[in-house]
């Protein structure tokens, strides 16, 4: 039998620190993932059902329990991949953000090359309201 705990505020044992439940529910990541450098596997995740490996530095995330719309925040970052003299960029692919998925690309730029797709570990967090 399932139980429901209904509270307005969470407070620590000494009642010195408290947080409203609305902050807990709205301020927590609704999905996150660490994707392997080769893009072939999800190393760890929460509320992520799968990852597409669409090529070098190109991938897609599928969210298990959809967001309430396509207007949520996506935080993307990558490992530097040992490239000390380049700048890495990872971005949501324009037009792909939907309530249950999005695509992204990862590139590097250095003094010789501009926007070269490459594979490194990727770290992804999704914030917003679930459907």
Place of tokens 């003094």: 111
* pLDDT tens digit sequence for 27-80: 899 999 999 988 889 999 999 999 999 988 899 999 999 999 999 999 999 887
- Distance CA(71)–CA(24), nearest Å, equals 20
Please state the pTM of the whole predicted model: 0.82
- Distance CA(120)–CA(115), nearest Å, equals 15
What is the predicted pLDDT for the residue at 84? 63
């Amino acid at each position: 039998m399932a139980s429901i705990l209904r509270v307005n505020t969470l407070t620590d044992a000494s009642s010195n620190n408290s947080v409203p439940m609305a902050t807990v529910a709205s301020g927590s990541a609704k999905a996150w993932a660490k994707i392997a450098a080769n893009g072939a596997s999800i190393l760890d995740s929460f509320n992520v059902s799968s990852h597409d490996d669409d090529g070098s530095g190109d991938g897609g995330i599928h969210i298990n329990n959809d967001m309430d719309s396509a207007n949520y925040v996506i935080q993307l970052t990558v490992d530097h991949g040992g490239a000390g003299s380049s700048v890495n960029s990872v971005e949501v692919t324009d037009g792909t953000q939907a309530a249950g998925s999005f695509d992204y690309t990862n590139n590097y730029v250095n003094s010789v090359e501009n926007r070269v797709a490459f594979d490194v570990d990727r770290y992804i967090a999704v914030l917003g309201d679930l459907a």
